[in-house]
Amino acid sequence: MPSSIARNSTPRVRRVTSLAIGIDLGTSGSRAVAMRPDFSIAAHAAVPLERFGANGRDPAVWWAAVEAALRELLSQIDRNAVRAIAADGTSGTLLPVDGAGRPLAEPLMYNDKVPDDAILSAIAGTAPEASAAHGATSGLAKALWFQRLPGVHAVLHQADWVAGQFSGRFDVSDENNSLKTGYDAEARRWPEWIAATGMRMELLPAVVRPGSATGGLTAAAADLFGLPRDVTMVAGTTDGCASFLATGAAAAGDGVTALGSSLTIKILSDRPISAPRYGIYSHRLGDAWLAGGASNTGGKVLARHFSLARIIELSATIDSATEIGLDYYPLGSPGERFPIADPALQPRLLPRPQSDADYLKAMLEGIAAIETLGYQRLAELGAPRLTSVRSVGGGAANAAWTAIRRRKLGVDFLQALSDEAAAGTARLALTGANEAGQL
């Protein structure tokens, strides 16, 4: 037999590209992304919470949405290629569980307030001024509230609990979700002052850095989804941090602006930035820090004056190269938190030009000026100088607004690789898979 025929008859072994899965659980639904080692997205899926019930704070609804999103994702890929899974959740959402991870009460969501002045006073009297544990919506306030329940074994963040459904571990969290519960990200430990608030420290989870391998799948989880038994579970993050990571921003000075109902800006810093009066705290991402703030301006203010269709129509007529210069500060009502900390700050939306297009343009200029001031404020507080911006949210698609912002900020505008938080969490899953020798 000729050697050429012999060579051609040898079966070729197809190499399967490894995949990591990121799961995002938000206020409206669950999303899942499968990512290749080169950060390209192999598949994605999304499922609304309302499909499984009207109560979006019910953990049973959370898990049903996560399960459905993951099943839809797995139907699009080779599930034998999956090497790691990580999850993110809403920052500051907590729930108490028993030793088997079963919820003992309805969770307190990220914006729920603890109605106990004694708890808030205990935190205010012991927590350092720069701690993110201050306030009625903090994770620590919720943990103190839940520890009163009989049979409580642990108090977990939303992402911890979701990950526990896969790993069977209900004793581990990540540095980002734990920040508002009082975790000291600089010292990388639960600080001693937390015990002085009356918190039972044994109820708080162990904390690892985002992207750390935390174990494997339970046999039940592997069988439920038809996944290999050696899939690695990886510590996740908050939804906000995941959204930043998804854009591809990775160097000090990289900024991400979210143009949604509100205006949120974040910048990657080489040092932590803390300014509680502006609502600024820093999440640790490896050896870097993610600092930012949220203004009360944004799309919800525009929506008070124009419909989305009208904004699109008027934006097409705007000359973004010129400046109207009316110095607007668009707010829906008095009060601002960042970049100006003033609960009595009044909106500035006068004088009103006769032209609707000019009125919209003046508001877009005003919001862009607030964005510029926000990055300047972060720099004043010690963050690096802004070198680039990636934009996410509905407003990112408005070309006229983008041109106005580009002119005011004077830095490179880069394309976000993704605006899905699940993609950022998938990046962490890749990190954990590599750490575990899975890639």
Q: What is the pLDDT along the chain (439 residues), one digit of tens a residue?
A: 333 333 344 444 446 799 999 999 998 999 999 999 999 999 999 999 999 999 999 999 999 999 999 999 999 999 999 999 999 999 999 999 999 999 999 999 999 999 999 999 999 999 999 999 999 999 999 999 999 999 999 999 999 999 999 999 999 999 999 999 999 999 999 999 999 999 999 999 999 999 999 999 999 999 999 999 999 999 999 999 999 999 999 999 999 999 999 999 999 999 999 998 898 999 999 899 999 999 999 999 999 999 999 999 999 999 999 999 999 999 999 999 999 999 999 999 999 999 999 999 999 999 999 999 999 999 999 999 999 999 999 999 999 999 999 999 999 999 999 999 999 999 999 999 999 898 8
N residues, the chain: 439
Name the burial class of residue 151, with classes exposed (0-12), middle (13-18) and buried (19+) by CB atoms within 10 angstroms of its CB: exposed
Q: Edge-to-edge, what's the strand order for the sheet holding 82-89?
A: 41-48, 29-35, 19-25, 82-89, 232-238, 213-216
DSSP H or E run through 391: strand 388-392
Q: Which domains does the chain have, with CATH numbers?
A: 19-240+422-435 (3.30.420.40), 250-416 (3.30.420.40)
DSSP class per residue in 251-292:
STTEEEEEESSSEEEEEEESS---BGGGTB-EEEETTEEEEE
Predicted TM-score (pTM) of this structure: 0.91
Distance (Å, rounded) from C-alpha 19 to C-alpha 289? 27
